Amino acid sequence: MRLKHVLRPAVIISNLVAWLVALLWLLPFVGLFMTSTRPFEEVVLQGWWSLAGNYTLANYVEVLTDPQYDLATGFKNSFIVALPSTLAPLLIAALAAYAFSRFSFTMRNLLFVTILVIMAIPQQTMVIPLFFLLKSMGLLDQLLGVILIHSSWGIAWITFFMRNYFSMLPRDVEEAARVDGASYATIFFRIILPLSLPALAAAAAIQFTWVWADFFFALIFLYSPENMVITQKVVTIKGQYQIDWGLLSAGSILAMIPPVLVYAALQKYYLRGMAGWVTGKG
C-alpha cells in the first residue's frame, strides 16, 4: 500500500524522464571519449558505440606531441593565461566592490551603472581598438597582452558579483574593528577577504573556466603557433576536408579536462555563484 503511494505516476514518470535526459545529455561526451580511444578507421567502420576493438591512447599522444597540433604548448599557454587572469581581477574587483558596498561617494551610482553596462557588452565591441593598442604597446601576439585584456574584462562582472556578496555581510564585525582603530585596508585584508572565501571561490571558478574557454580574444590577439592557447589549437586539428575524429576528439577532451576538474572540485560554489549572480544575490 505504501509502495503504491511512492510509486505513483508522477514519481515514476519524473524519474524516468529525468534520468533519460541526464543519460542523453551525457551521450555526446561518451561518444567523444570512445572515439578518442580508438583508431579512427575503426570508429568509421564500426561506429563508436560498439564496445569491441582496440583501445589506445595513440590519439592523445599524437595530438599532444606532434608539432602540427602541439596541444601540449596550447595547454601550457592556456594555464599561463588563465591563472593570472583569474587571480588579478579577483583582488582588484574585490577592492572595488568593497568601495561600492561600504563607502559613499558622489559617482557611486554612475560608476556602478557603468559596470553593469560593461557586463552586457559583447567582446566584439572592444577588439578593434584593442588590436591597435596592443600593437603599439608591443603586446600583440603576447600572452601578457591577453592576460591584461582578460583581467580587465573580468573586473566588471566580478565587481558586481562581490559587491552583492559584501552587501549581505553584516557590518558589526567591521564596525567593531573600526572602533578598535583598524584601518580600512586592514579590515579589508584581514576581515572581509577571509569572510568572503565562498564567494571568491565561486568567482574564481567561473572566471577560470571562462578564460580557459575563451576563443575570440585568443583568435584576434594571438597568432604564432607557439603562443596559441588550447582552444585555438584544438580547432586547427579539424582539417579542411577530411576530419580525423580520433585526433579531434582526443584534443577536445584534453581541452575540457581542466574546466571540468575545476567544476567538479568547486561545484558547490560554482552553482551557488551562478544562481546568486543571476538572481542578484551573493
Distance separating alpha carbons of residues 56 and 63, to the nearest angstrom = 13
Provide the minimum distance between the beta carbon of 166 and another protein in the complex, in angstroms, as a whole number.
Answer: 12
Length of the chain: 282
What nine digits make up the cell of 261? 576538474
Provide the minimum distance between the beta carbon of 153 and another protein in the complex, in angstroms, as a whole number.
Answer: 7
Provide the minimum distance between the beta carbon of 126 and another protein in the complex, in angstroms, as a whole number.
Answer: 4
Q: Which is nearer to another protein, 64 or 155 (CB)?
A: 155
Q: Which is nearer to another protein, 19 or 55 (CB)?
A: 19
Q: Which is nearer to another protein, 62 or 101 (CB)?
A: 101
Provide the minimum distance between the beta carbon of 262 and another protein in the complex, in angstroms, as a whole number.
Answer: 8
Distance separating alpha carbons of residues 276 and 64, to the nearest angstrom = 38
What nine digits make up the cell of 191? 576581515
What nine digits make up the cell of 41? 578507421
In order of 36, 135, 176, 192, 270, the CA distances from 88 in angstroms are 36, 23, 29, 17, 19
Q: Which is nearer to another protein, 58 or 177 (CB)?
A: 177
Question: Is 281 in a helix, a strand, or coil?
Answer: coil
Please check whether residue 215 is in contact with residue 146, taking contact to mean a CB–CB distance below 8 angstroms. Answer: no
Q: Which is nearer to another protein, 34 or 62 (CB)?
A: 34
In order of 95, 113, 281, the CA distances from 110 in angstroms are 18, 5, 21
Provide the minimum distance between the beta carbon of 248 and another protein in the complex, in angstroms, as a whole number.
Answer: 6
